[in-house]
Structure 1
Amino acid sequence: MIRKRIMTSLLAGLILTSCSKIDNYVAPNGGIRGKLIDKITNEGLQAEQPNGFTVKLFEKGGKLNSPIAFQGKPDGTFENAFVFQNEYKVLVTEGAFFPIDTAVITIGASTENNFEVVPFLAITDATVTPAAGKVTVNYRLKRAQVGDKIVERKVLVSRVPTVNNSVFDFKAQTELAAVSDTDILAGMFSDEVTGLSSGQTYYVRIAARTNNPLKKYNYSKIFTVKVP
């Protein structure tokens, strides 16, 4: 019995000693931020969140199959302020744009790096006009590089500032699979969303999709309107 008590006391002492050690690992002291620039509009690439696009960091000397991955923001910006200062291969991927080359970037305390991307589609010449109980949205679709078939366009209306293909309260949707891309790109579209309440503020966004493997949408910026 005495021997058992002695062993128990020794074990407890070892556990307490191990818990008292100070964690002296160096914390990440670097950061990277930037923006995806839409080559058609020369503005930030409009995306949805989450899963609009992914930034992957492959650290020099690290495992190539274990990147640091994080999501971009709806306005095309991205930031990770919790990485080690080092050289990285940076891959921007999984968005509604054509693949771009991997960049090699030395990340310091706060490193900024923008990337130009060619979107599958861009929404241009967009106007949103409110009227009693509705909004009318005019716009064009444009592209700089031929890709998958254009299959869908829609206008999304939300009661909250977040609005995308997953978050909306009203929509007008048109299937385009049977229309030639030539005709789509030459046209000016006008969509009407009805059933809106007078005096209510709404957030309006245009979305369009090609038949890309990830089923990603390209978006316009968000328009804020008040229905009279």
Structure 2
Amino acid sequence: MKRNRIYIAIILLATVVLGSCNKVDDYAEPEETLTGKIIDVETGEPLYTEQPDGTRIKLLQTDWNDNPLPQYFWVKPDGTFRNTKIFKGKYEVTPVDGPFVPLTEPQTIDLAGEKDLTFKVLPFLRVKLGDVSVNGTTVIVNYTIARPAGAGTFKITDAKVFVSTTSQATNASFDNKLTQTNNLQGTADDEILGTNYTASITLPEKRSFYIRVGARSEDNVSRRYNYTEAVKVDIP
């Protein structure tokens, strides 16, 4: 008799467990969309980033609880972002982990449907691409490095002329044998900021490459590069 009761208890427990497993989740799938871009607050130019491991968007859903856990998603290399799988709600939105002065205030939104945001940031450095010329298999790249007022005085450490067969051409995607590094650790920042730099790179013939210049400083532990736009060169 005692054994029968045990069997009945086991059967009842299994029924409850199976029933709970078969219940349909009542939560709706996330379907709200957040898009936008990150630009230089003074020039309006895009803030290019490397991916993966570049700039991210941080979300805090403030109507969920009083101590929400942050959610993150990546910004695209061209400085734009798009996430189509977010729950409806109120959020504080902030770009983080980028080569710019951290924003002190998030943008607060009530997300329902699609929302587009623009973040204006002050980059740590501004890298300008000058003339890029091709002479046979040699590419000559000219560039300058500037620091906006208010962007701090972190030591400028290096600049790179990134070479890649893809249009990204960043620290996350480059040809290590062709990319040229300019070590600036031993050069005073005042000298760096007043110099027109020239890089000469020999590339394989009959191929196309993308070139982009990046520079960085000891701004924070992430040490992201500030980038120029990428240009395509065709080697005859």
TM-score calculated relative to the size of structure 1: 0.90
Rounded to whole Å, the distance in 2 between the matches of 1:65 and 1:22 is: 26
Q: 1:123 to 1:41 in 2, by over 3 A?
A: farther
Q: Which moved more, 1:42-51 or 1:2-11?
A: 2-11
Give 1:116 deviation, angstroms.
0.5
- Name the structure 1 match of 2:12: 10
- Name the structure 1 match of 2:130: 126
Give 1:88 deviation, angstroms.
1.4
Q: Write the letter of the residue equivalent to 1:154.
A: K
- Name the structure 1 match of 2:34: 32
Q: Write the letter of the residue equivalent to 2:117.
A: N
Verify: 1:68 aligned to 2:71, yes or no: yes
- Name the structure 2 match of 1:42: 44
Within the candidate set 186, 190, 212, 1:205 is matched to 212
Q: Which moved more, 1:130-139 or 1:67-76?
A: 130-139
Verify: 1:149 aligned to 2:169, yes or no: no
Match of 2:179, SS? strand
Match of 1:50, SS? coil
Q: Write the letter of the residue equivalent to 2:194.
A: A
- Name the structure 2 match of 1:181: 189
Q: Report if aligned partners of 1:40, 1:143 keep a CA contact under 8 Å in 2.
A: no
Rounded to whole Å, the distance in 1 between the matches of 2:155 and 2:56 is: 24
Q: Write the letter of the residue equivalent to 1:81.
A: T
Match of 1:163, SS? coil
Verify: 1:168 aligned to 2:174, yes or no: yes
Rounded to whole Å, the distance in 2 between the matches of 1:65 and 1:108 is: 19
Identity %: 34
Give 1:207 deviation, angstroms.
0.8
What do the CA deviations read for 1:81-123 (whole angstroms, capped 9, x no partner)? 2222222111211110011122222222100010101111112
Rounded to whole Å, the distance in 2 between the matches of 1:221 and 1:63 is: 41
Q: Write the letter of the residue equivalent to 1:113.
A: L
- Name the structure 1 match of 2:80: 77
- Name the structure 2 match of 1:190: 198
Q: Write the letter of the residue equivalent to 2:110.
A: T
Q: Which moved more, 1:196-205 or 1:176-185?
A: 176-185
Alignment length (residue pairs): 227
Name structure 1 gaps, 5 residues minimum. Answer: none
Verify: 1:218 aligned to 2:226, yes or no: yes
Match of 1:47, SS? coil
Q: Which moved more, 1:64-73 or 1:113-122?
A: 64-73
Rounded to whole Å, the distance in 2 between the matches of 1:225 and 1:125 is: 14
Give 1:128 deviation, angstroms.
2.2
Q: Which moved more, 1:202-211 or 1:27-36?
A: 27-36
What do the CA deviations read for 1:170-213 (whole angstroms, capped 9, x no partner)? 1111122232322222222111112x211111111111011112
Rounded to whole Å, the distance in 1 between the matches of 2:50 and 2:77 is: 5
Rounded to whole Å, the distance in 2 between the matches of 1:206 and 1:133 is: 19
Q: Write the letter of the residue equivalent to 2:192.
A: I
Q: Which moved more, 1:57-66 or 1:27-36?
A: 57-66
Q: 1:24 to 1:59 in 2, by over 3 A?
A: same
- Name the structure 2 match of 1:20: 22
Within a 5 Å distance, the mapping from 1:100-111 to structure 2 comes to 100=103, 101-111=105-115
